[in-house]
Structure formats: structure tokens, C-alpha cells
A and B are shown apart, each in its own frame.
Chain A
């Protein structure tokens, strides 16, 4: 017998199920329990940058909106700094900026939305520059392991060709699934298709 590697194994994922709101957004489940729920303050009022609102649907393989999905967003501030100690510039992160949010859908329509600021470009590996983007993670009943994707902004087309994620997508017409549509000043629409025609690119982070 050769020596043994003593790594532990990652805990296995299980679906968040239909009642994910109880744990992660109890107000939406229909009751009040915590003094403050988490994830509503992505960018506090003092954080500089262009204020934006992002809305969308998550759409299943039959074309129906997924009405019980929960999304989380993780993003850099307007200067491309993450509010995390491993970002070498994190000491200078915008005041009141957390960069993390959590939203659920309207139970009747499936529409979700959140208010934040437009992130700046962030460093990639080596000399890479990442185009401004929101990192998204979604869970729901029927989703066995959380799905990661990214949302990019249509105005940044000049940066998209060199972006380390977008440039990796082999089928070039799928790149568009990661780019939001501008619907008005500071307003973006980003629909996520779980399956079928126009399936969103999901990422093995």
C-alpha cells in the first residue's frame, strides 16, 4: 500500500428545496423573525458609483419562469475592488459597500431584481483584466447544486473580447447569454435560461 492522502471530501450538495425562503429570506416566507435579514444592502448609500437596477427571470426548459428561485450576487465596487481581505486593494473599498446581495422572486411572476452600483473592471490572473461583471449563484427546488454564472454589461463590448471568461466560450453565440440588455438609464434586464434554446452559460468556478 502506498501512503494515504488525508484530504477530507467536500460535503455533498442537496437542493435548497421549495422553502429556501424560510432560512434565507424569512420575510418572504410570510413571517418576521430576525431584526435584520441579510443581503439587501449590496452597496450602501455612501458607496460611490453609478446606481443601477438589474431585473430578470429565471426560465426553465419549458419556457416557464421559475418562481421559487433564490439568487445571490457578489461584485466589486465601482473601482473594481472586492470587499474581502484577499483583494490587495480592499483597504480602499468604498465605504458602506458590501458587494453581496440576496434576492428572491415575486411568487406570482418570477421576476427578481436588485439595486446596486455598476462594478468596475477587476484584475484577472497575471495581466488579465476582467470586464465589469456581477457574479451570480442561484438555487431552487429542482436545482441539485447551486449554479454559478456571470452578468456582463452591454456598454463594455470593447472589453469583452479579452475577458478571461467570455473569451473561453467556444460557441461564440453563447457569449450573448452572459450580457445583460439595457432597458433604460441605469436599468438592466438579465434573463437566465436553465435549459434549451439560449441556455445560459453556467460556470464551474
Chain B
């Protein structure tokens, strides 16, 4: 059997482009339906990355912006696996994360929130999954912060996650939330998700076994990318 196309994306699991409760989506959402197509080699290929692309501290957000000390905040390990819909691990794929610091402040020239910047926290990391699809980062639990969607909207604590998979059609950006955060159901961006179970799958779970005694807690977050069909009959390869 040879791998063939990726499964059709189940759009009922994803937010619609236009969701009036998330105001910025209103002028930025296409109104025409997406064009339906059969995948070609352009969609079943995608970029590959190697260890030469990265530095040794790229997945350690506690150390990768050290300017004389560690960042403040709750030290955590974030770990999990990248799998496809068939449950198979996705090895050697790039996972990138970015986040606010413990005060809810981003190190970005456009962020003007009064929460303090942390001189020792950059807020970004990247890594390749190993041969079992496993990834891990060390970081600080990000703080919640306010934003002007409604006058008193707050983002729950979250980490942005970008994943590649093996093809450009698996490309995905999401956000992970933290177990027990009361802001999750109140967030207009979370509320764009039509399926309540899909929201639950974005919540990282506290993982005491993976924590390091007297050092840091751990949260586990698995990521699922589109799976793909196998070509069962060679004479139908590539469709006709």
C-alpha cells in the first residue's frame, strides 16, 4: 500500500471564517465558499526541516532568552505527541510555539499591555518531533491578559502552536489552553469553535508523572494532524 491523499478536512471541528463574536474575523473572512479540489503533488508535499536549522536551546524558553537570570513565573514542561488521524506518530516535524510571559505580556513591539516585560523571557521556541512523534518544551506558564474585543474581554492562559506535518495540506496553527482555567469558556476566540468536544481537546492536562520534583510541573498536549488514505489498488493510483 502506498500513501495517497489526505482525508478531507472535517470543517465542523474548526471555527468558521466568519464569527461575529470575534469581531476582527468579520472584515477578514472570505464570504465565498472554498474551492473544492482533488489533491495534487502540490498538496501532498511540504517543507522539511533538519537539526541544522535549530540551536540547542530553541526548545527551552526558560533559558533561550537568558539575560542574567531565569524568567519569573510557574516553571512548566509542555510535552506531547504529534499524531495523525490514523493514530500514527508524525516524526521529524517542526513544532513552533509562542506565548506571553507570566504577566500576560508579549515581547512584541505592538503589545502595549501594562503587564511587565520579563528581561529573561522571549516567549518563543521550536523543536522537531522525535521518531515517535514526541516533542517537549520547557517554559513558563503564561498569564491571562485583556484585549479589546468587548470592553472587558480576557484571553485565558494560552500558548500558540504551529505544526507542519509532512505536507502543506496538514499545516496547522492552534492555541492550547490550561486545565482548570475559568476564562476558557468566556473567551470570544474559544467561542468561535462550534464543537464543545473540540474545545476540550485544546486543553492541556496537568501531568504530574512528567513533572520534575522540586523543579517544575508538566502539562501534556497531543496534536492531531490530518491522516491519509492508502492506495489499495495500484491501477487507481493518482485517480483517473
Contact = CB atoms under 8 A, between A and B. Distances in A.
Interface of A: 6-24, 26, 29-31, 33-36, 38, 60-62, 64, 66, 68, 72, 74, 76, 82-87, 98-100, 107, 122-126, 128, 130, 133, 135, 137, 139-148, 150, 164-165, 168-169, 174, 194-196, 199-205
B96 interface: yes
Most B CB atoms within 10 A — which of A34, A61, A64, A137?
Answer: A34
Contact of B160 (A17, A82, A143): A17
Contact of B201 (A12, A100, A203): A12
Contacts of A142: 22, 24-29
B213 to A, nearest CB: 30
Given A31-B122, A145-B14, A14 B238 contact: no
A16 B160 contact: yes
A24 B98 contact: yes
Contacts of B85: 7-10
Contacts of A6: 87
Main secondary structure of the interface of A (DSSP, over half): loop
Contact of A31 (B97, B99, B107): B107
The 10 closest A-B pairs by CB, nearest first: A23-B98, A142-B24, A100-B47, A84-B45, A142-B28, A144-B15, A204-B34, A30-B109, A14-B175, A61-B27
B182 interface: no
B16 A74 contact: no
Contact of A144 (B14, B41, B169, B195): B14
A11 B172 contact: yes
Contacts of A21: 108
A20 B107 CA distance: 11
Contacts of B171: 72, 137, 146
Nearest to A69: B28
A194 B86 contact: no
Contacts of B201: 9, 11-12
B173 A86 contact: no
Contacts of B9: 10, 204
In this complex, the interface size class of chain B, counting residues with CB under 8 Å from chain A, is 35 or more
Contacts of B44: 86
A102 to B, nearest CB: 9
Contacts of A200: 30
Nearest to B159: A23
Contacts of A139: 173
B38 to A, nearest CB: 6
B48 interface: yes
Nearest to B111: A19
Nearest to A171: B32
Interface string B187-200: 00110110100110
B65 to A, nearest CB: 6
A137 B42 CA distance: 12
A135 B35 contact: no
